[in-house]
Structure 1
Amino acid sequence: MRELALHLLDIAENSISAQASNITIQVREDRAADRLFMAVIDDGKGMDPEMVARVIDPFVTSRTTRKVGLGIPLLKAAAEACNGGLTITSAPGVGTTIEVEFQLSHIDRMPLGSLAETFLSLLIGSPHVHWVFDVQVDQDGFVFDDQPIKQELDGVPLTEPDVLRFVREYLEEGLRQVHINQA
Structure 2
Amino acid sequence: MMQDCAMQILEIVMNSNHANSKFIEVHIVDSIKNNMLEFTIIDDGKGMDEETCRKVTDPFVTSRSSRKIGMGLPFMKGLTEQCNGSFEITSKLGKGTKVIASVQKDHWDTPAIGDLGEMMMFAIQANEVVDYLFTYQTDLQKFVFDSREVKQTIDGMSLLEPDILLWIKEYINQGIQLTKEKRV
* Aligned equivalent of 1:36: 37
Q: Structure 2 counterpart of 1:38, which letter?
A: F
Aligned residue number for residue 23 of structure 2: 22
Cα separation, 2, equivalents of 1:162 and 1:44? 29
TM-score relative to the length of structure 2: 0.93
**Greater Cα shift, 97-106 or 149-158:** 149-158
Aligned-pair distance for 1:159?
Answer: 2.9
What amino acid is the match of 1:96?
Answer: T
Percent identical residues: 38
Distance 2:168 2:112 in 1: 23
1:178 deviation in Å? 1.1
Mapped to 1, the partners of 2:72 and 2:162 lie a distance apart of 32
Contact 2:12–2:73 under 8 Å retained in 1: yes
1:179 counterpart SS class = helix
2:59–2:74 Cα contact (<8 Å) kept = yes
- Asked if 1:105 corresponds to 2:106, the answer is yes
Deviation at 1:135, TM superposition (A): 0.6
TM-score computed with the length of structure 1 as normaliser: 0.94
CA RMSD of aligned residues (A): 1.3
Which residue pairs with 2:174 in the alignment?
173
Question: Which structure 1 residue ranges, 4+ long, deviate > 6 Å from structure 2?
Answer: none
Q: Tell me which residue corresponds to 2:150.
A: 149
Unaligned runs of 5+ in 1: none
> Relative to structure 1, is the Cα distance of residues 165 and 59 closer, same or farther in structure 2, using a 3 angstrom cutoff?
closer
Distance 1:165 1:10, change over 3 A: closer
Question: Is there any run of 5+ residues in structure 2 with no aligned partner, and where?
Answer: none
Deviation at 1:169, TM superposition (A): 2.5
Offset at residue 12 of structure 1 (A): 0.5
Residue 3 of structure 1 corresponds to 4
- Equivalenced residues, count: 180
